[in-house]
Chain A
Amino acid sequence: MLNYVLSRLLTFVPTFFGVTLISFAFIRVLPGDPIIVMAGERGVSQERYDQLAAQFGFDRPMYVQFWDYFTGVLQGDLGNSFVTKKPVWDEFFTLFPATLELSLCAMVLAIVLGLPAGVIAAVNRGKFFDRALMSTALVGYSMPIFWWALLLIIVFSGNLGWTPVSGRIDLLYYFPDPTGFMLIDSLASGQKGAFWSAIRHLILPTIVLGTIPLAVIARQTRSAMLEVLGEDYVRTARAKGMSPARINSIHALRNALIPVITVIGLSVGTLLAGAILTETIFSWPGIGKWMVDSIFRRDYPVVQGGLLLIAVMVMIVNLTVDMLYGLINPKIRKR
């Protein structure tokens, strides 16, 4: 197992370098000049422009700039934001809990609904529930997030007035945020109604962000279950006189989980991509919104550093999933 983890970590090295390079290049190939953007309406004199360019190091060749950045990254220094002047690293970890909270809620929603839905669909293959569920999943999968979010906002926030439209909590609540997770902090604050307010703010973003993973997990669970249900060991379980409920939920599901877990791991990347859009729509103060804002401001250090950190997070999640996979699939564990 240790060897396995180490070898996986080793494969991170080229990926890490590649991601650093791509994130560095990505923001620079976009048209637009950070100095001009910073200067805003007033504009900037050529003199001042050259001065700023020298200060940010834009006057040096691109490969020197990259090497500077890369050696900094290796020392844990991602640079400071052009706009706030604060270290990118600090800003990222201040905002990350908000994104993590939203993503976790979306993932929990997707798993809690998607697994049983897939199992029930597989067991009732070809019947009404199966067809209805799979068509719904297809719709959910192909629905544009933006459109879906607006629809939910119009109905639940606009027409029904049940849920707030933006932010993580009502403005009238204020309390320290030691963990950065609003659900935990609001509960810990002891303020009446704070927790409930946090939940109401979470509902729509969670649904919007969880829809695609939910559809993916339901479909994958269904197809994995269908395959597993035809296996010899399922027939053995029936020959042992086990009940269908037990066979489906223990004997078959345990095997079907192996491919499903892989899919869950792979959808983490999609989830973070979705988080960017969702956070922008719901003004959710997480790294997604932060990244989008920074792209518009051409805040090079934030964009390149943020992308790199997100990529590292995805790599860590994938490694975790791989190890989880080993736990659930004994054939890999003992190798």
Chain B
Amino acid sequence: MSLLRIRNLSVDFATASGKFRAVDGVDQDVNTGEILAIVGESGSGKSVSMLAMMGLLPWTATVTADEMSFDGHDLLTIGKRERRRVVGKDLAMIFQEPMSSLNPCFTVGWQIKETLRVHLGLSRKACHARAVELFEQVGIPDPERRLSAFPHQMSGGMNQRVMIAMAIACKPKLLIADEPTTALDVTIQAQILDLLTSLRDDNGMGLVLITHDMGVVAETAERVSVQYAGQKIEEQPVLPLFQSPHHPYTAALLDALPERATEKHLPTIPGMVPGQFDRPAGCLFSPRCKFANSKCKAEQPAPQGPELGHARCFYPLNTDERIAS
């Protein structure tokens, strides 16, 4: 049985102008030691789906699912107190903005030791020793001194390392990394991704990597789930996904990769992810899809079978017939 199992997850936000479905019937599985990438443009509901699973959404959100379980805990019925024993310990998450995700009023040492003290009940001395060890593990130089620094005294990359150290403090079974490198410089990005992969190798934890960048996916992931406008529209292991994407949206994302560009200008996907007011009636991608026809605009496609990467499309690409012909 998989470590994380989600079936038919939907999230609705109550907004001033009515209900808005940010996540729409998403299935997800993550196994121990596996790296799953969730990819899609901004506004696809990637963050919201994982925040829903963590129980971190504001009260305006209504979360429904047929099943949502992690490591033997039923996250749909779990009590608040019990959830707090799991979240932050076995199930950890890091965020896009390391600077604003750390509390400016406390030293980073205080912030990491808090996790150790509350979840593991370590003594002062043991907390300190473990904090130093964790800082070393995530590659923070001069850990003793850094422990007494405030977040604003360090770079974004260093702060993200602190966030990672904090997240892995209790040796979690699953780490959710929500765009961990988006706010960082390119060189730092690669370092952080290497760090996350090597931590997965050392600790054997599952890793969910949320990103909008297919380049990051190519470097890091093993399995890829593509999300669009709240729906999961395709899922494949990374190699076949890059070789033969089945959903036109996935194909368009791949075409937008700089190294794949054949023309001088980078092909981009025209238009934007539909929001609350411009949700199309049929296939959610139809306004931007170059293969769209009248059927696409009228009916919602159901997911295809696993051999076609569960693609939510009436006319999946790279089917065997097309390859053959």
A-side contacts of B163, CB under 8 Å: 236
Interface residues in A293-335 by Cβ distance below 8 A to B read: 328-331, 334
Known: A238-B56, A243-B84. A334 touches B150 (CB 8 A): yes
B61 → A minimal CB distance (Å)? 13
Answer yes or no: A58 CB below 8 A from chain B CBs. Answer: no
A-side contacts of B84, CB under 8 Å: 241-243
The count of chain A contact residues (Cβ–Cβ below 8 Å) is 21
B-side contacts of A240, CB under 8 Å: 87-88, 114-115, 118, 166
CB atoms of A242 and B100 under 8 A apart = no
B-side contacts of A231, CB under 8 Å: 100
Size band of the interface chain B makes with A: 20 to 34
CB atoms of A242 and B95 under 8 A apart = no
Known: A240-B166, A241-B118, A330-B150. A235 touches B95 (CB 8 A): yes
Answer yes or no: B279 CB below 8 A from chain A CBs. Answer: no
Q: Whole-angstrom distance between the alpha carbons of A251 and B88 in the complex? A: 16
B50 → A minimal CB distance (Å)? 10
B-side contacts of A243, CB under 8 Å: 84
Known: A232-B95, A232-B100, A331-B150. A239 touches B88 (CB 8 A): yes
B16 → A minimal CB distance (Å)? 14
Query: C-beta contact mask, A238-276 vs B, less than 8 Å → 1, else 0?
Result: 111111001000010011000000000000000000000
Can you name the residue of chain A whose Cβ is closest to the Cβ of B103?
A: A233
Q: Whole-angstrom distance between the alpha carbons of A243 and B115 in the complex? A: 12
Answer yes or no: B102 CB below 8 A from chain A CBs. Answer: yes
Can you name the residue of chain B whose Cβ is closest to the Cβ of A235?
A: B56
CB atoms of B102 and A233 under 8 A apart = yes
Q: Whole-angstrom distance between the alpha carbons of A242 and B106 in the complex? A: 15
B-side contacts of A254, CB under 8 Å: 103, 105-106
CB atoms of B153 and A334 under 8 A apart = yes
Please list the residues of chain A having a beta carbon within 8 angstroms of any beta carbon in chain B.
231-233, 235-243, 246, 251, 254-255, 328-331, 334
Q: List 14 A-B contacts (CB under 8 A).
A: A233-B100, A239-B92, A239-B93, A240-B114, A240-B166, A241-B87, A241-B119, A242-B88, A246-B118, A251-B103, A254-B105, A254-B106, A330-B104, A330-B150
